[in-house]
Each structure stands twice: as structure tokens, then as C-alpha cells.
Chain A
Amino acid sequence: MLNFTLRRLFAVIPTILVLIVFSFYLMRLAPGGPFTSERPLPPAVMANVLERYGMDEPLHVQLWSYIKNIVLYFDFGPSFSQKDRTVNDVIAQGFPVTLTYGFWSAIFVLVCGVPLGIIAALRHNGFWDYTMTGLAIFSQIFPNFVLAPLMVLLFTLSWGLLPGGGWNGGQWQYIVMPAIALGTSYMAGVARLTRGSMLEVLNSPFIRTARAKGLPERTIIIRHALKPALLPTLTYMGPVFVYMITGSVFIDVFFSTGGIGQDFIDGAYSRDYSILLGLAILYSLLTFALTLMLDLLYAWIDPKVRSSMG
């Protein structure tokens, strides 16, 4: 297990380093830096500014310190556009928000999607099966950026049940809509996938073996079918997390949660490269961490993978 983890890490670390180096050069070589966009500064002031951000040194020296700061201190440097604010400040402020509703959204995806898929499979061609098919089409047609306005229209503007945005220290009323708007289409995806794999497993020879043992249907499903049926769902959660991160940028912007998505977009607007790339690296780290976690979980569950890891 340890071996496997280390091997995965060895694959991830160079990727992240390449990403950082690439980001760094992109940032420095890009047309129009953060200080050139307005009126040209007097050379003396410019030199001063450059020195303040350590940009007067040769590129490779800058790169080295950029990497060193990220790797050793997890420090992404100062913001270009916001005085007295570092990228780390932005992360410290916004990241917990995004993670919080993201976490609840993932819970929503799994807690609703998996049982719905299982029920749809067990009641093949029944009410729940059709409900789920409907939901799957619905979620394809109403992606989060159409669903979220609709939800606000209904729950906030029409019925006044939930606040239409903001965070307010993370009270539950403020989490509900972001979490559901973010998760619905993936919930439908998880349900559809779980249904498919459950149906396949229920038709497999080893389930027939379990029936031949005289086990009651419920035992067969819980003890024999659930685990193999959920493994594909687990694999699917990797891409789901990646997509949810994209979705979270939208949620942060639309619901004004104060999460890092808003800073990310603002960084693009104001060409604040250090925020932009710092957050891009953070997002990548997050997906790598989540996928690694999923891989480990998968390996831990599947005895075949577990034993092949040595």
C-alpha cells in the first residue's frame, strides 16, 4: 500500500513541478504585465515596483525562489493588483468557503446519487427508474449555470425560502443552494452510472452463485452486489471532482460566496498573474490530491489491485 502511494506520488510531483515552471514562464513572458496596463510608470517608479516584487533579478533566479517558496513554505507570493495582500491571504480567506460547500455538494452527489441508482436498478423499468432517466436528461439540459438562476428565481425570489447568495460565516441556509446547484448534474451522472453497473452486476454469474446458495435477495445485494457495483462509481468520482472544481468557480461567482473562484476570475480580469497562477496551481493540487485519494481508496477496496501492489 505504502509502495503504491509512493509510486503515485512520484508521478504527481514532477507533473506539479512542470506545471509550476510552465506557469511561471507564462506569467513572466505574457504580453502586458500587471503594471503596464495603465499609464506608463516613470522608469524610477517602475524599477522600484519591480524590485519590490523581486522582478529585477534574472528569470531563473526568480523561478527558483518561486518554486522554493511554494514547495517549502506553501507561499505563492504577493498579489500584483491588491496592495498588502498576498496570494496566501486570498487562499486563506476563500479556500475554506469553496471547500465547505464543495464537501457538502460531494456528500449530496453520493448520498442521493448512489441510492437512486441502486433503487432504479432494482426496480428496473419502474417508477424510480423513469424518474432517474428524467433526471439525467434534465441535468444535461439544465447545467449548473442555468439551474442556479432558476433555483434563485424559485427559492429566493418567489418563495423567499433561502438566501440568493452570500456566505454569512457558512450558515446552512447559505450552503444549501450552492451545494445543490453544483452537484445536481453529477448526482444524476452518479445515479445513472450506479444503475448501469448494478444492473450488470446483478446479471453476473457470481450473483447467480449467491442465489444458488439460497441467500435472501437483500443479503445478496448488500453483501455481494454492492461493492462491485460501486467500484465504477468510485472511478467516476475522479472526473466528477475535476468538473466540480470548474463548477465551483461558477458557484463562487454566481452566489457571491467569497470563495476562491471569484478571486480567480478577478485575477484574470486584472491580469494579476500571481493570483491567477497561484490559484491555478492550487486547483491542480486539489484535483491531484483528490484523484490520488480515490486511487488509494479504490486500491484498498479492490483485492485484485491491492494484491498486485505488493
Chain B
Amino acid sequence: MRDTQTNTAPLLSVRDLSVRFRTGDGLVHAVNNVSFDIDVGEKLAVVGESGSGKSQIALAIMGLLAKNGEASGKIMFDGRDLLHLPLGELNKIRARQIGIIFQDPMSSLNPYMTIERQLAEIVELHEGASRRDARKRALEVMDAVQIPDARARLDAYPHEFSGGMRQRIVIAMALMCNPRLILADEPTTALDVTVQAQIMKLLGDIQRDMGTAVVLITHDLGVVAGFCDETLVLYGGCIMEQAPTLSIFDAPGHPYTRGLLRAVPNIEDPAASLAAIPGSPPSQRKPPAACPFAPRCVDAVDACHLTLPDLDGDGSKRACLRPVEVLT
């Protein structure tokens, strides 16, 4: 979408990405024909409910889908398609070019290795750093993510840290090689609200200082608001709306986005009732033939149940036959 503005290729370009899982009950279509670009230093949010396939996009980019998962389409990074890269080549990109922050800091760290080892092994591997240099780098990065008294805690084990501190360590892990892109998969979900804010501020600072591009995957629109330039709304594995974050909040184009925003508590008007979106997430047994949100959409017409609309529009795009502004 940015290619209208500049001619330089985007940092990461995802085209027609679909992810399917073979399960005991048949195929599950988790992600369907998703396309988006990220430029150098850009901040993109991918928003959706749990089960919308948002985490699977990040895992597909890293080549980390579960064994029964299969991705199709194209994920171009540096002119190479990550989906068809041999594991050895992909390993050179993981952590070094693309870092990932997983959502659960409790289980994402190896409980049997010291923090220092888990951080240092990354630069030892990718930069051939000596053990001493790697340790120094680990200390630097731990300082950068503001872990107090980092030097003394280098040789501690994950269980000796609080949840927020562990999330910082997971972030530090993603930063070890100064990657060009960071995929942050629900980085704050497991944390208290106050800690959430700290972590988001930290991510923002790092992003600004290092110019890293960030894909922030979250279900929490509140987290997105102050952070991302561009937002992509996912439902049932399909992109519903893609727009600059501000316009998403000001004028949501897709009825689903509007529903999502109504489900977020509003501080200025606490009396306003929270509107839950009626119905439940779609079954993903079949590839969608119609708008996946139609069964829950109050504005749906017959056509909505029959056709799958394209992502369409200038600047802010939505995949909808009856976008919000048409209705009002």
C-alpha cells in the first residue's frame, strides 16, 4: 500500500498468506489470503480477537508454525521468500534480521538456563561473539530494557524474575542482534495494567532509538492507539480493515471494527454501556466464501452472506459491502 508513495521495496511484504492446520477433525483455515507490507521503521498493528489468526501470521513469518500447520502465499523479506527458504538460511534471518517477542514470558524462557546464557547464545551464534563479548552485550541489552541491577542478575534463572521483568528479558532477547523487524505477539497480555504501560513505553522508546520496524499483534485496541501508524483488523483469518490508526479510531469503516471499538471501555464516558458483539467467532472448517463477520453483523444484507468482498478504498481500506460511512 505504501508503494504508491515511494518506489523502494518494503522491508517485509506478505502476499496472499494462508495458514491451514490439519487436525483430527479436518482442516482448519486459520489465515486466509492476507496481504500487507511494512516499510523500514514502520509500526503496524494487527488487531483481532483470539482465534482470528493474528499470532499465526507472526509464526508463519518466522517459520515457526506448529508441525501440523502449513502456510501458502509469499512472505518476501530482503527479496527472498521466507516460506521457501531452507531451514539453514531461515536460521540466519531469525533473531538476526527479525526478532520475535512471544506473549507468555512465563513459558517462553527456558527454566533451566540462566538469563545470561539464553541471551548470549544469540550473539554467539549470529555474530560469532566470544563468550565474554556476548556476556557484555547481554548486559547492555538488559540495561537497555531497564532491568534494575542487571549485572547482578545476569546469572539468575527465569523463575527468579517477576512477570514484567521476564517480559523485558524476552524483549531483550529480540533486541540482541539489533534486528530490522520485531514481531511483538501480544507482548503485554500476560501482565498487569501498570506493567503493560511500562512495557509499551519501553517498546516505543526502543523502536524510536533504533528505527526498528515493529509488527504489534494484539487483541487490545487500547494498546494500539498510542503506538502504531497503521492498523490491520483481522477477523476469522481475513483482513477486515486496514487503515492509519487514527482513522480507525475516528471513523471505523468496517462494522466489525466499530463493534470492536464499542467493546473498549471509554474513560470519558463510563456510563456508556459496553457493547459486546453478539454471536461467536466463525467456524474455520471451510475457506470463507462470504464475509466471515456477516453472521454477527447487524447491518448485513443477503449479499453479505454470499460474497467475500475485496479489501478496497484509498488510504483506509475495508473489505465490506456496506461500510459504516455508507450507512450513515
Asked if chains A and B are in direct contact (CB within 8 A), the reply is: yes
Write the residues of chain A forming the contact surface with B, with a CB cutoff of 8 angstroms: 203-206, 208-217, 219, 223-224, 227-228, 301-304, 307
**A212-B62, A212-B64, A304-B159 are known contacts. Are A206 and B91 too (CB-CB below 8 A)?**
no
- Binary interface encoding of chain B residues 105-138 relative to chain A, with 1 for a CB under 8 A from any of its CBs, else 0: 0011111110000000110011000000000000
Counting chain A CB atoms within 10 Å of each CB, the highest count among B62, B91, B126 belongs to B91
**Pair B121/A213 contact, Cβ less than 8 Å:** yes
| Residues in A neighbouring B93, C-beta threshold 8 A | 214
- 11 new A-B contacts, CB < 8 A, other than A205-B104, A208-B64, A215-B91, are A209-B108, A212-B102, A213-B94, A213-B95, A213-B121, A214-B92, A214-B126, A215-B125, A223-B121, A304-B157, A307-B160
**A214-B125, A215-B121 are known contacts. Are A303 and B91 too (CB-CB below 8 A)?**
no
Separation of A224 and B126 alpha carbons in the complex (Å): 17
Q: Does B31 contact A (CB under 8 A)?
A: no
Counting chain B CB atoms within 10 Å of each CB, the highest count among A205, A212, A223, A304 belongs to A212
Pick the contact of B102 from A203, A205, A223, A302 — CB < 8 Å? A205
**Pair A224/B107 contact, Cβ less than 8 Å:** no
**Pair B95/A303 contact, Cβ less than 8 Å:** no
| Residues in A neighbouring B87, C-beta threshold 8 A | 217
| Residues in B neighbouring A219, C-beta threshold 8 A | 125
Q: Does B217 contact A (CB under 8 A)?
A: no
**Pair A212/B159 contact, Cβ less than 8 Å:** no
**A213-B95, A213-B125 are known contacts. Are A303 and B64 too (CB-CB below 8 A)?**
no
Closest chain B residue to A308 by CB distance?
B159
| Residues in A neighbouring B159, C-beta threshold 8 A | 303-304, 307
Separation of A216 and B64 alpha carbons in the complex (Å): 13
Separation of A302 and B112 alpha carbons in the complex (Å): 7
B137-176 at interface with A (beta carbon < 8 Å):
157, 159-160, 170, 173
| Residues in A neighbouring B96, C-beta threshold 8 A | 214
Separation of A224 and B160 alpha carbons in the complex (Å): 19
Pick the contact of A209 from B66, B90, B102, B126 — CB < 8 Å? B102
Pick the contact of B109 from A206, A212, A301, A307 — CB < 8 Å? A206
**Pair B91/A208 contact, Cβ less than 8 Å:** no
Closest chain A residue to B63 by CB distance?
A211
**Pair A211/B102 contact, Cβ less than 8 Å:** no
Q: Does B100 contact A (CB under 8 A)?
A: yes
Separation of A100 and B151 alpha carbons in the complex (Å): 49
Separation of A215 and B66 alpha carbons in the complex (Å): 17
Pick the contact of A228 from B91, B95, B111 — CB < 8 Å? B111
**Pair A307/B125 contact, Cβ less than 8 Å:** no
Closest chain B residue to A302 by CB distance?
B112
| Residues in B neighbouring A214, C-beta threshold 8 A | 90-96, 122, 125-126
**Pair A209/B104 contact, Cβ less than 8 Å:** no
Separation of A234 and B306 alpha carbons in the complex (Å): 59
